[in-house]
Amino acid sequence: MHIFISFSLQSTSMNRFELVEKLRELDNPVYSTKMLGLIAGTNSPYVLASRLCSSGVLCRIKNGLYALAGESAEAVATAIIRPSYISFLSALILHGAGTQIPVQVQVAAAASARAVKFANYEITFHRTPARAFGGFHPAKAGSKKYFVAGREKAIADCIARPDLAGDEETESAAA
């Protein structure tokens, strides 16, 4: 059962602080415009989202979808489309098998979607058939949970989709 606290962000900056704290308490790292409006108790959630983005409190992921500034790119990536998990080269890097500094988070998902930018990362979504969907486990970034492929599953995904694997990283992970 969710309890939403109503307050207006117009009067004091303390209310903005309360909203940020309320968002941090939620399990989900991404928030729709509608959700922001319900939590803040406002009739103009688009104006609220715009102001919070302008002040650097929120980052716009895509139209109608936001995350708190400083949120983990991994947690945001797997919350945009569900079910999904981080895989391919991104998972190998998270497991310590890669040598590159990541600029992309590759997500295996049940559905396809356009790539989005978040916190200097490009988050790409790659449709994975239901029969190959599995072999992932939960991980945490701060207080938010995300899903990542196990090392063996990430290697298997890279073999199935070599276009999404870095050559030398895949070879060193398999060794």
**Which residues are bridge partners to 147 per DSSP?**
138
Residue-range definition of the domain harbouring residue 78? 73-174
Three-state DSSP string of 62-73: ECCEEEECCCCH
pTM above 0.75, yes or no: yes
* Segment (H or E) for 138: strand 136-141
Same domain? For 147 and 166 the reply is: yes
pLDDT at position 100 is 80
Same domain? For 114 and 146 the reply is: yes
Pairing of strands 84-86, 116-118: unpaired
Same domain? For 79 and 57 the reply is: no
Average pLDDT, integer, range 106-130: 95
Share of the chain above pLDDT 70, in %: 86
Q: What is the tens place of the pLDDT at every residue in 70-80?
A: 999 999 999 99
Q: What is the tens place of the pLDDT at every residue in 12-48?
A: 334 888 999 999 998 899 999 999 999 998 889 999 9
Same domain? For 45 and 26 the reply is: yes
In a domain, 5, yes or no: no
More confident residue, 142 or 175: 142
Quote the tokens at residue 41. Answer: 């108790």
Same domain? For 122 and 166 the reply is: yes
Query: How does DSSP classify residue 141?
Result: E
Q: Which CATH number do you get for residue 61?
A: 1.10.10
Same domain? For 44 and 120 the reply is: no
pLDDT band at 167 (very low <50, low <70, confident <90, very high): low
